[in-house]
Structure 1
Amino acid sequence: MAKRDAAGHKTLADAVRDLIGTEDNRRHVHKLLGLEVEPELPPTLASLLEAIGKARSGRTP
């Protein structure tokens, strides 16, 4: 999957991931879009997603 478009901008998917990267932003976006906010993730899943995010950000320029 492309990380940047032809003009060098972030893809829409990457921009949304960045936007919902924090719990406060995630809840705000859910409210703005009228989406149901899911309950907090169990600690094991939350730590796994955090590890994936850190690994992913370490690979991107």
Structure 2
Amino acid sequence: MTAPNTPSEIPGCIARRETDAVYAWFSTRRLQVVKGDVTLSLSADDLRALFNFVEGCVIEEQLS
């Protein structure tokens, strides 16, 4: 038995192409992330807090 010769459609969530993010580190100890029209600027303190948050989530997941 062979598959029919109908074109298969790629699901939209897979076919969607998003723009790549652009990262920049500045001497003022800030990370800037630009993706499309959105710009995010994080200080070193913000990055430390984000790291602690993610680390806490990973530990919580391991305990579950």
The structure, 1 or 2, with the larger RCO (C-alpha pairs under 8 Å, 6+ apart) is: 2
Instruction: Tell whether the structures are fold-level matches, with TM greater than 0.5.
Output: no
Structure with higher helix content: 1
Q: Whose Rg is larger?
A: 2
Q: Which bracket does the TM-score occupy, shorter chain normalised?
A: 0.3 to 0.5
Q: TM-score, normalised by structure 1?
A: 0.39
Name the one with the larger strand percent. Answer: 2
